[in-house]
Amino acid sequence: MMLANHTFPELKTTRLLLRQIIEADASLMHQLRTDVIVNRFIQRPSERKDNDGLAFVERITNGIANNDIFHWIITNNENSQLFGSICLWNFNDDKSAAEVGYDLFSQYHGKGIMSEALNEVLEFGFKQLKLKTIEAFTHKDNKSSTNLLMKNGFGQDETRSDPDNLNNIIFIKRNHL
């Protein structure tokens, strides 16, 4: 599943650079992960102490080193402005399926940024990692996320539920490449 050269893959689009998280991102990632608007549909422990994001950066860096996660910071190509993050994680045992997760600062909602980033990550997952399926879990009331997933070729899997959050619905996209 993982790449042979062990170099973290940077992904580029017309407007975006998706790059590896670094320690300098800690404060902004802490802001993103604790933002009330961004997290209104996400169950995250609000009392989690992560040292202003440093523990999160360390956890992600370790996950990358252990080949457990691909986590990208979404930035502007021109000025490195941090928009949000996107990841492939929660790989199944045979590494043929993964979950995609994402969050975006609210001032960038509705600008096509996440759709552009998601498209690039899906292509990476299907072409480079040879995944057969990519799943996404989203809150049933999160219409923006539902629309994003459907626009990018996901379909709702009505046969499954999320035992950890019964308000979530599950979407799946199969590799047709």
Helix (H, G, I), strand (E, B) or coil at 47: coil
Query: pLDDT of 76-96, one tens digit each?
Result: 998 888 999 999 999 999 999
Local confidence band at 104 (pLDDT 50, 70, 90 cut-offs): very high
**Is residue 2 domain-resident?**
no
**Is residue 1 domain-resident?**
no
Q: What is the CATH number of the domain that holds 107?
A: 3.40.630.30
- Domain hosting 106: range is 11-174
Instruction: Give the start-end residues of each E strand in the chain.
Output: 11-12, 16-20, 70-76, 82-89, 97-104, 133-139, 155-156, 168-174
| Number of domains forming the structure of the chain | 1
**Neighbouring C-alpha atoms within 13 Å toward the C-beta of 59:** 11
Residues 138, 142: Cα–Cα separation, whole Å: 7
DSSP state of 54: H
**Is residue 162 domain-resident?**
yes
Report the candidate in 99, 79, 81, 80 with the shortest Cα–Cα distance to residue 89. 99
pLDDT of residue 44: 60
For the entire predicted model, the pTM comes to 0.90
Residue 25 in contact with residue 82, Cβ under 8 Å? yes
**Is residue 18 domain-resident?**
yes
**Is residue 164 domain-resident?**
yes
**Is residue 5 domain-resident?**
no
The whole-number average pLDDT for the span 142-146 is 93
Report the candidate in 102, 104, 101 with the shortest Cα–Cα distance to residue 82. 104
The token pair at 53 is 């994001």
Helix (H, G, I), strand (E, B) or coil at 76: strand
Ranges 29-33, 38-42, 81-85, most confident: 81-85
Report the candidate in 69, 78, 86 with the shortest Cα–Cα distance to residue 19. 86
**Is residue 15 domain-resident?**
yes
